[in-house]
Chain A
Amino acid sequence: MKNLLNRLRGVERDVLESPPDADAPFYVAQADEIEIFRAAWTRRLPVMLKGPTGCGKTRFLEHMAHVLAKPLVTVACHEDLTSSDLVGRFLLEGEETVWQDGPLTRAVKEGAICYLDEIVEARTDTTVVIHPLTDHRRQLPLDKRARIIDAHDDFMLVISYNPGYQTVLKDLKPSTKQRFVGIHFDYPGELIEREIVARESGGLDPDRVERLVAAGRRARKLKDHGLEEATSTRALAYAGELMQAGLPPRTACRAAMIAPVTDDPELIQALEEIVAAHFPESDEETAAVHG
């Protein structure tokens, strides 16, 4: 009863559901990624989205799933994710044990796009499970039930992979990598990024968008000099949203772009310096300079 109520209220949603009828999630193409994805989709080839955090990989896929009108199953991988979390497991229900499909199995059965986000984070045994799905067999073996499932015609596997991100310790095996069609993402160009930030922040004024994006692009230059993750488009969008919510620009930038990414005091100083240059303290200050 409670479950049903929750479902009605929309609190709980099935992993697998058909796309809502609303507009497609906002996405601006950076290059030819849409064409490549469409081509891969027509042949149902598995796809690997490569690129740094927060550059729009997940959004891209949501957008594509909507355009193609296919359900999307997203699994955020983490280091404790085991193959049974993907495939399914036996559960006790009442008097008996019941098999419960994992998200991957459901996607395979029902023909959805299954998105394994940051797959390097998962245990290595999970990557082996997906091997038979990614070649001509298109099968998912369920070891525990001693069965093999043939994938639905519309099933498609997409993984994301962040090169350079802890790759020293964790990397996909070459045997896994070479099964995918790769689409490379990077932070969008300045004009596109402005459009994105303006849109995502809910209509921040063009001047501040311009400064924000310019500051973000400067900050990105510090990657690999102590900054493990560069300032992402998402962080810029968040900063924009915070400004829209009434925070002063410098505070918003500090909260969205600096505080989350680093604890290194010198780096913080350098980033704050960049932000401050793009957002002068106030107009009074500029007036004082002339006075």
Chain B
Amino acid sequence: MAEADDLVAIEEVLQQLERVSFVAHRDTRAALPAIREFGAVQARFWIETARDLFLHDREAGKSFLRHSARLAENSGVVEPWTGQAREFLQWVNSHYALEGFLAQVDRVWRAWGEVGEREWFAIGLRWCGRSLADARAYFETPFDRLDGGQGVSGLRSLIEPAERLFDERGLTLDCYLAGAPMARNMVGDAGLLSWARRGADLLVAGRSRGEAYFRMESEEGMRLLLEALPGYRARLHGRFLQLLLLAWLDAEIPLADGDWKPGEGRPMLETDGRRLYLPAVFDSRDEAIVAVQHGAAHLAFDSYAREHIESLFARAGMEHPPLDDHSRITWRPLFASFGEHMFRFQILFDLAEDLRVNGRLHFRIPGFLARLLQLAQRRELPKEPAGSYYRFALETYVGLREELRPLRGAGPSAEAGRAPHAPPGTLDHRLRGLLKPEATVLDAWEVAQELFADPAFPEIGIDQRKDAYLPGLSLNAARPVYPQRLRDGDLSDFRDVGDAYEEHRFVREKQEEAPEQAPEGAQKDPDADIQMPREETSGSGGRIGVGIPAPAQVAKRGVAWQPRSGGIPYPEWDYREQRMISDWVNLNERVLDEQAPGRAREILAEHAATLKRLTRGLEMQRPMRMAPLRRQMDGDELDTEAVIDFIADKRAGLSPKAFIYRRRAVRHRDTAVLVLADMSTSIMARHPGGEGKIVERVRSGLMLFAEAIDRIGDPCAISGFASKQRDQVHYYWLKDFTEPLDDAVRGRIAGISGRLASRMGAAIRHSVRAMQRVSSQHRLLLILSDGRPADYDDGGDARYLHEDTRMAMKEALDAGIHPFCITLDPSGEEYLPAIFGPGHYTIIDHVDELPRRLPEIYLRLRR
């Protein structure tokens, strides 16, 4: 009976739809048979939903009808998703989200079951409540991208930070989802929140910059993630690695950041013949050491010697190696003749050449082979086909080690160190010639050709190629290379001959000139590494390959924010992650353009009386006075008074101690001081209770200070800072330590004005670095501030820069520099104790007092 009612109702709806829309009626009819199978009740519920959706929003209704038959078939149910689709009725214009939902709900249902699907939907529905655009992004993103392989819990942990930041910072999901799944792969669930929070901060600072961050298009987003990767961070240990090269190879080889990214296979070291490019992380410290030593060995033992390379190309039928615009050799033609077997040959060639170089390096660095072998044996054998190559290389090096063992160190213990049960040497006879000291890269080429003919080495593709290398070893032709002169192991005159600036300019110009290459016109090549930059390399003979290097990807998605660089990089402390972010801040030393010599004279005239009084006080503190030390056990002259006492006591039958000398010693107060003034916009504010602006008092204060210190003769410097986001911290020298106080300096001090914000940490770090060049015993850093440290891109989180400043302060103390803060901010009491510690700051309540107080404070401190 009830069923009959339902069937009637369905017919009524159909008629209703027919009146409203031809399309709706047709689609409903098409989908209905699939739904009918689930019974009349469900069918009635479904058709009513379809009608309601259609009447609410035609597009929503249409997509509901379009997907229904498929959903019913795939999920085996109707009621759940129909009910969920009904929920979208709450919002106008929700059809995009609904479309996304319907497009994959059946797959979600099958993958996660009913419970999982319900949660997936519930999360999406919450986003509908927040913003429909975000909900659309949520439903349109394939669900298996969101879960990170962990099912619903993965989804939950991915979305949680976004929900939190939406409430805190208004971060849109749309933006977040662009990069979050990838970021999660790299930093894990735990690091996701801080990654996203930083992005949200940037988004507040600038929309395009923030979006680029989330899309992983900007360098800063990528850098942060790389820093979070596990492993041995080469860039943090750059100095250590460089010291090793210096010790072992006498070489100052510059190390630079490579452009390896996670997901590109094993991180490998690369070289262009001038620098070694390190990937962001290595698996282990040992691997980094091996890689750097091995990379330098290629330079030392002539893998890139011009003569040899030319002969190599001559053999390949080319008169000269092809050079790019930078006179770097491009490798492609060398490998081109091997066609699709290119990678197979490349691995074998590298294997032979690496063996040659390592065989020689072994004599320079004891223990190099041992370390390489240890790493190689510890690593799991890679899958075939790479495994064959890996095993062959490993056996070769075990053999090499056996071979070389008697040669190394004539001492008896070298022999004793041989393990009795070690497998016999398996150094392939074909490789033997490479161990001769006179072998060159040409021999390696020949050996490689011999090996190439051996069918024991399977075909291999680009994806497995990197796995075929032993740890620490890498593609030798990964970058175009500046040819070297013959060195034969001597790197002592190795220098980075390239002019970095020139190079930079050149690349910039080229990029501007280069016409945008149509994507389909771009050369498609299976191996981007061998011939970077992409260029015309077909044909043979003569100088070829002088095409214009073009950026690999030209299709732009909006303009990515480019942080300014070229200044001095400083790290910054992130309290939320409890770690330093290296090279986060870009600081530039600037010259202050404004000079106001006239105003300088006015200031001095105005404060003449104060200065006079100060000068009198200063006389008392002049250094270099000989302070007599009386009644000493020994000394340069007799202390007459003490002698008389002594003799008198003696005569009187006592036995006094002979403290009868007088000694003069200079009690030199050896203090250097740097005043770091906050030059942010806030100092341009009007004086709160008097005439003029705060900046006028700051000028007078600095001026009197400079005059006073000049009279005492202490080394003194004055500087100011202002900032605009993390990449533009400006540092202005008003007076350097070595500069005398002259009218130019006075003019500069009188000319300061406020601008931008105050990122204090970086300025302090820079000051500390400057003060380390001063040899004084006591070093004092006076920070003159008028408010909290803040910047445009701190996302309104005051604590962030507070904590960074506190950290910079600690670093200063560690460097033996005493920081002291003088602030004009009456509310300084609230945050200064936390940053500078009690007793390390003072608050000047009346701005008018600043000119008088500033020199006084210094004199009090230096005592």
Find out whether the CB atom of A277 lies under 8 angstroms from the CB atom of B419: no
In the docked arrangement, what's the CA distance between A207 and B370, Å? 19
Question: Is B2 an interface residue, CB under 8 A from the partner?
Answer: no
Question: Is B30 an interface residue, CB under 8 A from the partner?
Answer: no
Chain A positions within 8 Å of B417 at CB level: 280, 283, 286-287
Given contacts A210-B411, A278-B366, A278-B367, contact A270 B419 (CB under 8 A): no
Flag the segment in B240-248, B516-524, B757-765 that touches A. Answer: B240-248
Find out whether the CB atom of B775 lies under 8 angstroms from the CB atom of A92: no
Find out whether the CB atom of B367 lies under 8 angstroms from the CB atom of A289: no
Chain B positions within 8 Å of A287 at CB level: 417, 419, 421-422
Question: Is B443 an interface residue, CB under 8 A from the partner?
Answer: no
Question: Is A152 an interface residue, CB under 8 A from the partner?
Answer: no
Question: Is A43 an interface residue, CB under 8 A from the partner?
Answer: no
Chain A positions within 8 Å of B243 at CB level: 222, 225-226, 266-267, 270
In the docked arrangement, what's the CA distance between A269 and B247, Å? 12
Find out whether the CB atom of A210 lies under 8 angstroms from the CB atom of B409: yes
Nearest B residue to A97 via CB reads B638
Separation in Å of the A261 CB from the closest CB of chain B? 14
In the docked arrangement, what's the CA distance between A208 and B244, Å? 22
Find out whether the CB atom of A280 lies under 8 angstroms from the CB atom of B247: no
Find out whether the CB atom of B419 lies under 8 angstroms from the CB atom of A290: yes
Find out whether the CB atom of B416 lies under 8 angstroms from the CB atom of A283: yes
Residues A250-279 near B (CB distance < 8 A): 266-267, 269-270, 273-274, 276-278
Separation in Å of the B363 CB from the closest CB of chain A? 11
Residues A92-124 near B (CB distance < 8 A): 92, 95
Separation in Å of the B114 CB from the closest CB of chain A? 54
Find out whether the CB atom of B422 lies under 8 angstroms from the CB atom of A270: no
Nearest B residue to A85 via CB reads B634
Residues A219-239 near B (CB distance < 8 A): 219, 221-222, 225-226
Question: Is B413 an interface residue, CB under 8 A from the partner?
Answer: yes
Max count, chain A CB within 10 A of own CB: residue among B244, B247, B373, B412: B247
Chain A positions within 8 Å of B775 at CB level: 168-169
Find out whether the CB atom of B660 lies under 8 angstroms from the CB atom of A92: yes
Chain A positions within 8 Å of B370 at CB level: 280, 285-286, 289
Chain A positions within 8 Å of B646 at CB level: 92
In the docked arrangement, what's the CA distance between A290 and B646, Å? 80
Question: Is A82 an interface residue, CB under 8 A from the partner?
Answer: yes
Question: Is A246 an interface residue, CB under 8 A from the partner?
Answer: no
Find out whether the CB atom of A221 lies under 8 angstroms from the CB atom of B246: yes
Chain A positions within 8 Å of B418 at CB level: 286
Find out whether the CB atom of B240 lies under 8 angstroms from the CB atom of A291: no
Nearest A residue to B365 via CB reads A277
Separation in Å of the B582 CB from the closest CB of chain A? 14
Chain B positions within 8 Å of A219 at CB level: 247
Residues 150-190 of A, flagged 1 when their CB comes within 8 A of B and 0 if not, give 00000000000000000011000000000000000000000
In the docked arrangement, what's the CA distance between A287 and B418, Å? 7
Question: Is A206 an interface residue, CB under 8 A from the partner?
Answer: yes
Find out whether the CB atom of B246 lies under 8 angstroms from the CB atom of A225: yes
Chain B positions within 8 Å of A289 at CB level: 370, 373-374, 377, 401
Separation in Å of the B391 CB from the closest CB of chain A? 16
Question: Is A7 an interface residue, CB under 8 A from the partner?
Answer: no
In the docked arrangement, what's the CA distance between A82 and B643, Å? 22
Separation in Å of the B683 CB from the closest CB of chain A? 39
Question: Is A90 an interface residue, CB under 8 A from the partner?
Answer: yes
Given contacts A210-B411, A278-B366, A283-B417, contact A266 B377 (CB under 8 A): no
Question: Is B289 an interface residue, CB under 8 A from the partner?
Answer: yes
Question: Is A84 an interface residue, CB under 8 A from the partner?
Answer: yes
Chain B positions within 8 Å of A218 at CB level: 247-248
Given contacts A211-B409, A276-B367, contact A222 B373 (CB under 8 A): no
Question: Is B423 an interface residue, CB under 8 A from the partner?
Answer: yes
Residues 643-675 of B, flagged 1 when their CB comes within 8 A of A and 0 if not, give 100100010000000101000000000000000
Question: Is B239 an interface residue, CB under 8 A from the partner?
Answer: yes
In the docked arrangement, what's the CA distance between A168 and B423, Å? 58
Find out whether the CB atom of B377 lies under 8 angstroms from the CB atom of A273: no
Chain A positions within 8 Å of B412 at CB level: 205, 207
Interface of B is mostly: helix
Residues 406-429 of B, flagged 1 when their CB comes within 8 A of A and 0 if not, give 000111111011110111000000
In the docked arrangement, what's the CA distance between A207 and B416, Å? 12
Nearest A residue to B412 via CB reads A207
Find out whether the CB atom of A207 lies under 8 angstroms from the CB atom of B411: yes
In the docked arrangement, what's the CA distance between A90 and B240, Å? 56
Find out whether the CB atom of B247 lies under 8 angstroms from the CB atom of A274: yes
In the docked arrangement, what's the CA distance between A29 and B410, Å? 25
Chain B positions within 8 Å of A277 at CB level: 365-368
Chain B positions within 8 Å of A225 at CB level: 243, 246
Given contacts A90-B638, A207-B409, A289-B373, contact A221 B247 (CB under 8 A): yes
In the docked arrangement, what's the CA distance between A222 and B246, Å? 7
Find out whether the CB atom of B366 lies under 8 angstroms from the CB atom of A269: no
In the docked arrangement, what's the CA distance between A207 and B366, Å? 14
In the docked arrangement, what's the CA distance between A240 and B416, Å? 21
Max count, chain B CB within 10 A of own CB: residue among A82, A168, A276, A290: A290
Given contacts A90-B638, A270-B240, contact A207 B414 (CB under 8 A): yes
Find out whether the CB atom of B374 lies under 8 angstroms from the CB atom of A273: no
Chain A positions within 8 Å of B247 at CB level: 218-219, 221-222, 270, 274
Residues 223-254 of B, flagged 1 when their CB comes within 8 A of A and 0 if not, give 00000000000000101100110111010000
In the docked arrangement, what's the CA distance between A90 and B247, Å? 54
In the docked arrangement, what's the CA distance between A226 and B239, Å? 10
Find out whether the CB atom of B413 lies under 8 angstroms from the CB atom of A221: no
Separation in Å of the B666 CB from the closest CB of chain A? 11
Find out whether the CB atom of A270 lies under 8 angstroms from the CB atom of B244: yes
Nearest B residue to A283 via CB reads B417
Chain B positions within 8 Å of A221 at CB level: 246-247, 250
Chain B positions within 8 Å of A288 at CB level: 374
Separation in Å of the B467 CB from the closest CB of chain A? 22
Find out whether the CB atom of A291 lies under 8 angstroms from the CB atom of B660: no
Given contacts A82-B636, A221-B250, A225-B246, contact A286 B368 (CB under 8 A): no
Residues 356-398 of B, flagged 1 when their CB comes within 8 A of A and 0 if not, give 0000000001111010011001000000000000000000001
In the docked arrangement, what's the CA distance between A90 and B414, Å? 64
In the docked arrangement, what's the CA distance between A267 and B246, Å? 12
Nearest B residue to A217 via CB reads B247
Q: Of the candidates B240, B248, B643, which one forms a contact with A266 in the assembled complex, judged by CB atoms under 8 Å apart? A: B240
Find out whether the CB atom of A290 lies under 8 angstroms from the CB atom of B422: yes
Separation in Å of the B366 CB from the closest CB of chain A? 5
In the docked arrangement, what's the CA distance between A134 and B119, Å? 96
Given contacts A207-B409, A210-B409, contact A266 B416 (CB under 8 A): no
Nearest A residue to B402 via CB reads A290
In the docked arrangement, what's the CA distance between A133 and B365, Å? 51
Q: Of the candidates B289, B413, B419, which one forms a contact with A291 in the assembled complex, judged by CB atoms under 8 Å apart? A: B419
Find out whether the CB atom of B658 lies under 8 angstroms from the CB atom of A92: yes
Chain A positions within 8 Å of B634 at CB level: 89
Nearest A residue to B650 via CB reads A95
Chain A positions within 8 Å of B423 at CB level: 290
Find out whether the CB atom of A291 lies under 8 angstroms from the CB atom of B421: yes
Separation in Å of the A283 CB from the closest CB of chain B? 5
Chain B positions within 8 Å of A168 at CB level: 775
Chain B positions within 8 Å of A214 at CB level: 366
Find out whether the CB atom of A266 lies under 8 angstroms from the CB atom of B239: yes
Find out whether the CB atom of B373 lies under 8 angstroms from the CB atom of A269: no
Separation in Å of the B775 CB from the closest CB of chain A? 7
Separation in Å of the A121 CB from the closest CB of chain B? 16
Separation in Å of the B430 CB from the closest CB of chain A? 23
Residues B748-776 near A (CB distance < 8 A): 775
Which 10 A-B residue pairings sit nearest by Cβ, starting from the closest?
A207-B411, A290-B422, A287-B419, A270-B243, A277-B367, A266-B240, A207-B413, A221-B247, A218-B247, A266-B239
A208-B411, A283-B416, A289-B373 are known contacts; what are 12 more A-B pairs with Cβ within 8 Å?
Answer: A92-B646, A206-B411, A207-B411, A221-B246, A225-B246, A280-B370, A285-B370, A286-B418, A289-B370, A289-B374, A289-B401, A291-B419
> Can you offer 8 A-B residue contacts whose CB atoms are under 8 A?
A205-B411, A210-B409, A214-B366, A277-B367, A280-B367, A285-B370, A287-B422, A289-B370
